[in-house]
Amino acid sequence: MKVSQAIARMLKQEQVDTLFAYPVNPIIDACAAEDIRTVIVRQERTGLHMADSVGRLSSGSRVGVFTMQYGPGVENSFGGIAQSFSESVPLVVLPSGYSRSQTNVRPSFSALVNFQNIAKSVEQVTLASEVPHAIRRAFTQARNGRPGPCVVEFPMDIYDEEIPDTLVYSTSITACSAPEPGAVHDAAKLLVEARLPLLYAGQGVHYAMAWNELRELAELLEAPVTTSIEGKSAFPETHPLSLQSGGRAYSGELDQFLHKADVVFGIGASFTRTPYGIPWHRYLKGQTVIQGTVDTADLHKDICVDLALVGDARLTLGMLVEEVRRLIGKPRGRAIKLAKEIDRLHAAWISTWRHKLECPDAPINPYRVIWELSQAVDMKNTIITHDAGSPRDQLTPFWRTEAPLSYIGWGKTTQLGYGLGLAMGAKLAHPDKLCVNWWGDAAIGFTGMDFETAVRERIPILSVLSNNFCMAIELDVMKVSTEKYRSTDISGDYAAFARAMGGYGERITDPAEIVPAIRRGIAKTEEGIPALLEFITSKEEDISTF
């Protein structure tokens, strides 16, 4: 059989049921012949975002795969791969390359050369006999340790070469490591003896599917829990011990407890210093810090840690639960008082935002849209993601998740337009759930044409768009250019655009119509029609940060 056919059969053995792609690449038809669904996008970046979402929501059990043509297809893919790399997402990318005689001839754009700094692994296959080894390595690397995009480039002249029909492919494997037992004992002792321990859950908790162990440890220690944006939904935010997530914007109760905690335990977390994460440098003033991670490159990186637990988050938390239980036996009766304090602080913080969350004015306040949307959906059966800028900062503090993997948070880099593909990938991974992307009128300008992909590929997502006819978050830093040249002004009739693309589009200007419009949009998705609700909103620059 030909190399392209062999690749398709190997993907089938790796449990790949959907190939995201943009032509032209021989792998596409070969996969279709193997009954692997091919989803063709309008631009490469969105296809990568969709494959990215599959990997996130499968906790590594499935890996999203994207393929594209050599030259411009590879060039256009750079941003999408870079985004997945920054967010540590398991992904396999299979680009075509120039023929082997042209690989190193300028101006040929080589994935092998140019993707080295934005991928976990990159290799080029030059011998047909090496194809199975390269595919196996890519999936194994994507699935183990710190996840990331793994790239295998196939020169165009290799696809038609022959591989024996008797070829036996060894599928990828997964393996987990656990921390050293003595370090677990020391960490448990620090947590048990702490006056107020605080648990901080990162994306590694999702990948390890360690949600039950995290909750068990929190309830045993009677410790409050917060998450990174990427870790949001790893702990139910309706739980009495939840402080919700921490990003550029976060809750009042989280601010208070970050000041009070004397021991901070980050599990599945890198503690990366970023404008879109908890500003640890503002809060850590001599507290004891314990870090649990699979990647030693994160240790002692942006903050100093006192103790490290290197290993899989589920194994680490399970060992800690056993050790803490051995030390204290059962919870010591502090949870009720702690929960009351969290509830009091939350109520006080919400009261300072209620005038925005329930604002009756038009243009509609975007916080009102988020508040009403959160009341209208079935939280446990909804997956939501944000876009960059104002949508991320407005949504994360006020959306209280209840179930694992019900929120796709991101922010290490903030490429506009990421949310649309994430929502579409989520719907393919979980067709029974309502999948929502919350975006702004800047983000739709980057990937909006792929709303047509949702229509054509029968992916009924709900896109909720805040249109304030400007780039609001930039107003404060672009005062002169805005005044002289209206540089932050943007406009469009996006509901009409959605209808032109074959979907459902509705523009809402009256606050009284927010909830009915949401219900109509959800009903359309249940009919199998992608829906876009365009809310005409006020220019909100405030975010809930401290």
Please, what is the Cα angle at 191 between 189 and 194, to 5 degrees? 105
Residue spans of beta strands (DSSP E) within 318-472: 382-386, 407-408, 434-440, 462-467
| Separation between Cα atoms, residue 221 and residue 330, nearest integer Å | 9
Examine residue 235 and state whether it is found in any structural domain, yes or no.
yes
Cis, bond preceding 164 (omega within 30 deg of 0): no
Residue 291, token pair as written in the block: 């870090």
pLDDT band at 60 (very low <50, low <70, confident <90, very high): low
What does the pLDDT read at residue 105? 81
Residue 172 lies inside a defined structural domain of this protein: no
Alpha-carbon Rg for the chain, nearest whole angstrom, is: 24
Average pLDDT over residues 450-471: 96
Residue 545, pLDDT above cutoff 70: no
**Greater confidence, 163 or 542?**
163
Is 486 in the same domain as 462?
yes
Residues 295 and 330 both lie in one domain: yes
Task: Examine the domain organization and report whether 226 and 80 are in the same domain.
Answer: no
Residue % of the chain over a pLDDT of 70: 99
DSSP summary character for residue 130: G
pLDDT surpassing 70 at residue 531: yes
What are 91-141's pLDDT values in tens digits? 999 999 999 988 878 888 999 999 999 999 999 999 999 999 999 999 999
Do 132 and 204 have their domain in common?
Answer: no
Q: Which residues contact 372 (CB under 8 A, 6 or more apart)?
A: 514, 515, 518
In a domain, 169, yes or no: no
- Burial (0-12, 13-18, 19+ Cβ within 10 Å), 442: buried
510 falls within a domain = yes
CATH of the domain at 240: 3.40.50.1220
In a domain? residue 59: yes
Same-domain check for residues 301 and 229: yes
429 and 465 inside one domain: yes
Phi-psi region of 244 (alpha: psi -120 to 50; beta: other; left: phi over 0): left
Same domain, 419 and 516: yes
Confidence band for 546, pLDDT divided at 50, 70 and 90: low
> For the ranges 57-61, 294-298, 354-358, which has the lowest average pLDDT?
57-61
- CATH at residue 143: 3.40.50.970
Tell me: pLDDT of 312 over 60.
yes
Six token digits for residue 429: 């991974």
> 206: part of which helix (H) or strand (E)?
helix 203-207
Q: Is the pLDDT of residue 473 over 80?
A: no
Check: pTM over 0.85? Answer yes or no: yes
Where does a domain end: 280, 308, 342?
A: 342
Whether 225 is in a domain gets the answer yes
- Do residues 401 and 459 share a domain? yes
AA letter at 245: S
Which alpha helices (H) appear in 358-449, and where do they start and end? Answer: 366-376, 390-395, 418-429, 444-447
What three-state secondary structure class fits 61? coil
Note whether residue 148 is domain-resident.
yes
Question: For 174-220, what is each residue's pLDDT tens digit?
Answer: 999 999 999 999 999 999 999 999 999 999 999 999 999 999 999 99
pLDDT at 61 over 90: no
Q: Are residues 209 and 246 located together in one domain of the fold?
A: yes
In a domain, residue 109? The reply is yes
Q: Is residue 387 a contact partner of residue 413, using CB atoms and an 8 Å limit?
A: no
* pLDDT exceeds cutoff 80 at 247: yes
In the numeric block, the tokens 């194809």 are attached to 131
Which uninterrupted H or E stretch holds 455? helix 451-456
Give the CA dihedral 188, 190, 195, 197, nearest 10 degrees: -60
Q: In this structure, are 192 and 113 located in the same domain?
A: no
Residue where one domain finishes, among candidates 91, 126, 158: 158
Residue 109 burial by CB count (10 A; 0-12/13-18/19+): exposed, middle or buried?
middle
The alpha carbon torsion through 193, 197, 202, 205 (nearest 10 deg) reads 50
Are 215 and 135 within one domain? no
Q: How confident is the model at residue 540 (pLDDT cuts 50, 70, 90)?
A: confident
Q: Are residues 286 and 375 in the same domain?
A: no
Domain count, the chain: 3
Report the share of the chain in percent with pLDDT over 90: 92
Question: Which of 281, 311, 342 delimits the end of a domain?
Answer: 342
**Per-residue pLDDT at 544 exceeds 80:** no
Average pLDDT across the chain, whole number: 96
Show the domain range for 103. 3-158
The whole-number average pLDDT for the span 258-270 is: 97
- Cα distances from 427 to residues 53, 77, 208, 267, 451, in angstroms, run 9, 22, 22, 28, 13
